[in-house]
Structure 1
C-alpha cells in the first residue's frame, strides 16, 4: 500500500519545524527589542542559519509534491527504482537536502559557539570555543564539498539509477552522521564546567544546564 499523493507526513514536518525555528529567531529579536538591547553577532548569524533551514524545508516539500518522497517507488527487474522524471526530481532534491542540511548544522553550531563566547569571558574557555569553531568549520566545508562532488560528473547523482552510478560509497553518510553527533555533544556540553563553577544552588545549576541543552532541539 502506497502513501498519499503528495505524501502528507514529509510536508507536515517540512512546515512545522521551520515554523518553530522562525518563531524562535523572531522571539530572539523581539526579546532584544523590549529590553532595548542591540542584537549581537550571534543573533544576526541566526538569520542565515534559519534561511538555509527554510530552503532545505522547501526542497523537501518539492520532493514530496513533485518527486517520490514518502511514496512507493516502482522497482525494475534489477531491484532498483525505475528511472523517470519523478525519480530524477526526488534525487535532485535529496542531493540538495544533503548539502543544505550540512550547511545548516554547521551554521547552527556557529551561532551557539558565538553565544558561548559572548557570555563566558574566561580565556581558557574562549580558546576551547575557537578550537570548536575550527573543528566545526573543517567538518562543514569538508562534508559540503564531499557531498557536492559525490559523483563525477555531478549530474550522475540524478541521471543514473543506483546500480549504475560511480560515486563515493554511501558509508560517507554514516561518517557524516557519527561525526556530526560527536561534534553536537561536544558543543552542547562545553558550558557545563563553567555552569558548575557558578555560586548558585545545585538545582539551579541543573536548570541552567537544561536551558543550554535546549540547543539539542
Structure 2
C-alpha cells in the first residue's frame, strides 16, 4: 500500500484514477530544450562569427542554457521515480524518498537556470544603456537589488530544512520552512523581477538616434520578453492547484517552469539574431539580383566600409561601448558610414550614397564619383562647392581617385 494512502482498502484504491502523465512531461521538456538550445547556438554563432565579439552576457546565456538542460534532464529522470503518476500508485517507500530527493534537485536547477538567464538579460541590456551615465548608475543599482533577491531565493531553496535530508525523510522532528509559502514567494518574485528587467531599457531605447520605424521594431523585440512573464503566470496558476497528489499535479508546474527558462533564452537570443538574419537575407537577394554593372566597379572604388559604432549614440555621446558591439547598431560591411571628422553634432549624414563607376583609363588609376546627401544648417557648411536647398538639404559630389594594385584584375 502507498505510504500516503495506507488507510485505504484495495476497493477504494481501485476506484481512483491510475493514469500517468510521464510522457507529457518528457514531450514538453524535449521541445523546450530543442528550441532553446538552437536559439542559444545561433546567438553564439552570430556574436562570434558575425559581430566578432562574445561578451559576458553571452557566457551567462550559455550558463543559463546548461541550467535549463540540467533541469530538463532531472525532470525526465524524475518520471522514473513517480513524476506524472498518482501519489497512491507509488507503492515503494524508497521510491517515494527518491521522488522527493529529485524534487529538491529540480527546484534548485529551475531557480538556478532562471537566475542565470535574468543576469544574462541584465548584462545584455547594459550594453545598450551604458552610454547614459546617470541612467547607468540607476540600472546598476537596480541590478544589485534584483540580483540580491535572486541569490536569496537560491539559498532558501538550497536550505529549506535543517538538516537538508529532512526534506525527503519526513522525520518526526523535522524542521523545514513552509514549502507552500516558499513556492508562492518564488513564483511572485519571478514575475516581478521579469517585469523590472524588461521595463528598464525602454527609456533608453526611446532616446536612441533611430528612425521611428526601427525604434518601434527594437521595442517590439524587447516586448517579446513579456512572453516569459505570461508563462510565469501560467506556472503560478497551476502551482495554486497543487493538492496532496503532488506527484501528479506537479507535471504542469514543472513543464511550465522549463518553458519559462526556454522562453527567456529564446527571447534574449532573438535580440542578437538581427545581423544573422540580415546576412542571409542579403545572400538571398544577391542570388536573385541581376545587374549589368561589373562587380569590380561596385565596391572597389571606395574600398570596403565598416559599421559606424556610434550610430546609436544617445545624447550626442561619442564614448564607445565598454563591451563588444551591440546587435542593434550593427550594419553590414557593405553599408555606408558617417565620417566623424565631418560631423559637427548638428548635421545628420544620410546613410544612402550613390556611386557612379568610371572605366579604367589605363593609367593604373581607378576613379569614381560619390554623391553624399546630408542635412544641416548654414553654419556647418565649409565648402563653397555645396549646393543647399531652402529646406536645408545639402548635396555634395566627391571625385575619388586611387592607385590600382598591380595584381588586381581588370573588370
Question: Scaled by the length of structure 1, what TM-score is found?
Answer: 0.86
- Residue pair 1:18, 1:57 contacting (<8 A) in 2 also: yes
- Residue pair 2:162, 2:174 contacting (<8 A) in 1 also: no
Structure-2 residue corresponding to 1:104: 113
* Distance in 1, Cα, partners of 2:50 & 2:159: 46
- Residue pair 1:63, 1:69 contacting (<8 A) in 2 also: yes
Deviation at 1:74, TM superposition (A): 0.5
Structure 1 residue runs without a partner (length 5+): 76-80
Deviation at 1:94, TM superposition (A): 1.3
Deviation at 1:191, TM superposition (A): 1.4
Compare the two structures and name the one with the higher strand fraction: 2
**Partner SS state of residue 86, structure 1:** helix
* Distance in 2, Cα, partners of 1:116 & 1:36: 17
- Residue pair 1:109, 1:136 contacting (<8 A) in 2 also: no
Select 1:3's aligned residue among 6, 19, 25. Answer: 19
* Distance in 2, Cα, partners of 1:125 & 1:43: 23
1:27-54 CA distances to partner (integer Å, 9 max, x unpaired)?
A: 0111124425121221122111111111
Whether 1:133 aligns to 2:143 is yes
Distance change in 2, residues 1:110/1:8 (3 Å): same
Structure-1 residue corresponding to 2:88: 74
- Residue pair 2:29, 2:72 contacting (<8 A) in 1 also: yes
* Distance in 2, Cα, partners of 1:136 & 1:178: 13
Deviation at 1:158, TM superposition (A): 1.1
RMSD: 2.3
Distance change in 2, residues 1:126/1:25 (3 Å): same
* Distance in 2, Cα, partners of 1:134 & 1:184: 15
Compare the two structures and name the one with the higher helix fraction: 1
* Distance in 2, Cα, partners of 1:105 & 1:194: 25
Highest Rg: 1 or 2? 2
**Partner SS state of residue 61, structure 2:** helix
Question: Scaled by the length of structure 2, what TM-score is found?
Answer: 0.47
1:137-185 CA distances to partner (integer Å, 9 max, x unpaired)?
A: 2112211111111111111111128x98531012121112112211110
Structure 2 residue runs without a partner (length 5+): 1-16, 229-262, 264-411
* Distance in 1, Cα, partners of 2:104 & 2:94: 15
- Residue pair 1:110, 1:136 contacting (<8 A) in 2 also: no
**1:24-173 correspondence runs (5 A):** 24-35=39-50, 37-64=52-79, 66-74=80-88, 84-120=93-129, 121-160=131-170, 165-169=174-178, 170-173=180-183
Structure-2 residue corresponding to 1:78: none
* Distance in 2, Cα, partners of 1:182 & 1:138: 14
* Distance in 1, Cα, partners of 2:69 & 2:142: 25
